A and B are shown apart, each in its own frame.
Chain A
């Protein structure tokens, strides 16, 4: 079955066969593909884990005459999108793309596209997945993907550094990146005095607008390789110079402000280890995972999506995962009350988060009370969602007299009696059978391990 997003590039396409993701390479692209391998560029980048490695699998070749052969790339555990990444993840994806562009130029090739969707994460490691993005460089040709790079990476990074949610939501609503004139209009004046931002974003945006009506047969300037390398270096230093302007958010110091004693924390960790051994999951979805402290209990054995709504907590999680070279833990920005929708062609080109992720275990620790109090969700709704995604659920019930609940907006009186341990067990019991229930020592909180009813 052909991938819904794989229709733009004539070089080949991605398809699914027997649970695997495969990439067909069309005959018209073969000279460029051969150059990519024979120049040594592929081997270099794949050995350094910068480009996804692949093998040629002839036996999968569909009977289409236009296809030269089929590649089986290393299978990425979960596909994620730029609007689900933290600032640091998008920045690292941008730097990777530019490094690959630079090294391609040095080997006589060039990237024909620079979409942020060409990068995926294996845990904390970004990897370039589109092996058909490389084409042979011809002297004088400009970088056709320059505008795309600026729209997909530079504009969102600049906006995110000032207003994270603005950059993130504009990426979500603009499939081909944030238009440069919009980004330029939203940036504060002082940031435009940086040479890199002024040229690649402000001036670039103005020129696009100025020549928007010109016909594509207009004569254009040749750009030599030295200039292209200088352009890439300039983009590299501009991206490297983008930094988050925030040091604190509501949740970024969460673990300094909890009401757990150290013995309660130790006990909670022990219970989670015990639950993990019992389920032995392969893919875990952590919801409200903050900086990933408890996600790390699962990540040595399973691949963990450690998600939270707070972008700074996710940033901290990513920095920590990078330090540890963790390839089993992927931090993501996710609001479970408003997860990423499907966008693009038929709303399937970039599918919704809940369609892409099929975990075998969901972990919701100290998050349900927030969803009930802040988003007015009911236990039954949460149970239904969890059961539609995963066969196992670990969930923490926070009792109504907990000191953390007193900090939240109060529930309307008609809903207060529904927030009880009995109601919680009844509503989750409609979808799940309890395997274990353990009260955390020195705390009124309870941890449950549920298994979905068949």
Chain B
């Protein structure tokens, strides 16, 4: 699901990072970021579909009420 290509050691050495997240936290982050980005994308599309239909029905209603 996620390309593997970084080593935690390289990140710890090359940055000013003094916070040691641990391997488990980074793996969890990749999993959770994957899950939540899918959820957010679905929510975004859901909102788009919802607003499309609400605009559609609003326009239709206006058409009926406009003399």
Q: Determine if chain A interacts with chain B.
A: yes
Binding site for B on A (CB under 8 A): 8-11, 28-29, 32, 112-113, 135, 140-148, 195, 199-200, 203-204, 207-212, 214-223, 226-228, 230-231, 233-234
Let me know if A223 and B22 touch, CB within 8 A: no
B24 in contact with A207 (CB, 8 Å): yes
How long is the Cα–Cα vector from A370 to B24 in the complex, in angstroms? 48
Is B28's CB under 8 angstroms from A144's CB? no
* A to B CB contacts below 8 Å, 6 in the list: A113-B17, A140-B5, A204-B28, A210-B24, A223-B2, A227-B37
Q: Which residues of A contact B36 (CB under 8 A)?
A: 199, 227, 230-231, 233-234
Least CB distance, B64 to chain A, in whole angstroms: 39
Alpha-carbon gap, A390 to B23, bound state (A): 49
A32–B18 Cα gap in the complex (Å)? 16
- CA gap between A195 and B43 in the complex, in Å: 14
Q: Knowing A135-B15, A144-B17 touch, does A223 contact B23 (C-beta < 8 A)?
A: no
Q: Is the CB of A221 within 8 A of B3?
A: yes
Distance of A231 Cα from B40 Cα, bound (Å) = 10
- Find out whether the CB atom of B26 lies under 8 angstroms from the CB atom of A221: yes
CB closest chain-B residue, reference A140: B6
Question: Which residues of A sit under 8 angstroms from B12, Cβ to Cβ?
Answer: 216
Minimum CB–CB distance for A179 against chain B, Å: 11
Q: A113-B18, A148-B21, A211-B24 are in contact. List 12 more A-B contacts (CB 8 A).
A: A112-B15, A135-B16, A145-B21, A204-B32, A208-B25, A209-B24, A210-B24, A216-B23, A222-B4, A230-B33, A230-B37, A230-B40
Cβ < 8 Å to A, chain B residues 34-53: 34-37, 39-40
Count the B residues whose beta carbon is within 8 Å of the partner chain — how many? 35
- B24 (CB) vs chain A CBs: closest residue: A211
Give the shortest distance, in Å, between A26 (CB) and chain B (any CB): 9
Q: Are A214 and B4 in contact (CB under 8 A)?
A: no
Q: Which residues of A contact B20 (CB under 8 A)?
A: 216
User: Do the beta carbons of B28 and A207 come within 8 Å of each other?
Assistant: yes
Partner of A221, one of B6, B9, B16, B24: B6
Chain A minimum-CB-distance residue to B30: A221
- A195-B7 Cα distance, complex, nearest whole Å: 29
Do B18 and A200 touch (CB < 8 A)? Answer: no
| A residues less than 8 Å from B23 (CB atoms) | 211, 214-216, 218, 220
A234 to B29, CA, bound (A): 12
Q: Is the CB of B25 within 8 A of A204?
A: yes
Contacting residues, chain A, for B35 (C-beta < 8 A): 199
Chain A residues, CB < 8 A from B37: 226-227, 230-231
CB distance from A235 to the nearest CB of B (A): 9
In the complex, chain B residues whose CB is within 8 Å of the CB of A217: 7-9
- The distance in angstroms between the C-alpha atoms of A207 and B39, with both chains bound, is 21
A124–B6 Cα distance when bound, in Å, is 42
Query: Which residue among A113, A142, A144, A209 has the maximum number of chain B CB atoms within 10 Å of its CB?
Result: A144
Question: When chains A and B are docked, how far (Å) is the Cα of A410 from the Cα of B8?
Answer: 61
Q: Smallest CB-CB separation from B40: which chain A residue? A: A230
- How many whole Å from A192's CB to the nearest CB in chain B? 15
Structural contact, B25 and A112, CB atoms closer than 8 A: no
Are B6 and A214 in touch, CB under 8 angstroms?
Answer: no
| Bound Cα distance from A220 to B39, whole angstroms | 23
A218-B7, A220-B8 known; A147-B34 Cβ under 8 A = no
Residue of B nearest to A226 (CB): B37
Q: Measured between alpha carbons, how far is A264 from B57 in the docked complex, in Å? A: 64
Shortest beta-carbon distance from B16 to chain A in Å: 5
**Which of B11, B24, B28, B39 is within 8 Å of A141, CB to CB?**
B11
Bound Cα distance A239, B40 (Å): 17
Other-chain contact of A223, B8, B24, B30 (Cβ < 8 Å): B30
Docked complex Cα distance between A210 and B28 (Å): 10
Among A8, A219, A227, max chain B CB count under 10 A is at: A227
Q: Knowing A135-B16, A218-B7 touch, does A223 contact B29 (C-beta < 8 A)?
A: yes
What 8 A-B pairs have minimum CB-CB distances, sorted nearest first? A211-B24, A207-B28, A230-B37, A221-B30, A227-B33, A147-B25, A221-B2, A208-B24
The minimal Cβ–Cβ distance linking B22 to chain A, given in whole angstroms, is: 5
CB-CB nearest in chain B for A28? B16
On chain A, the residues within 8 Å of B17 by CB distance are 112-113, 144
Q: With the chains together, A207 CA to B35 CA distance in Å?
A: 15
Using CB atoms, name the residue of chain B closest to A136.
B15
A146 CA to B32 CA in the complex, in Å?
11
What are the residues of chain A within 8 A of B8 when measuring CB–CB? 216-218, 220
| A164 CA to B28 CA, complexed, in Å | 28
State whether A219 and B26 are in contact (beta carbons under 8 Å apart), knowing that A144-B21, A146-B21, A230-B36 are contacts in the complex: no
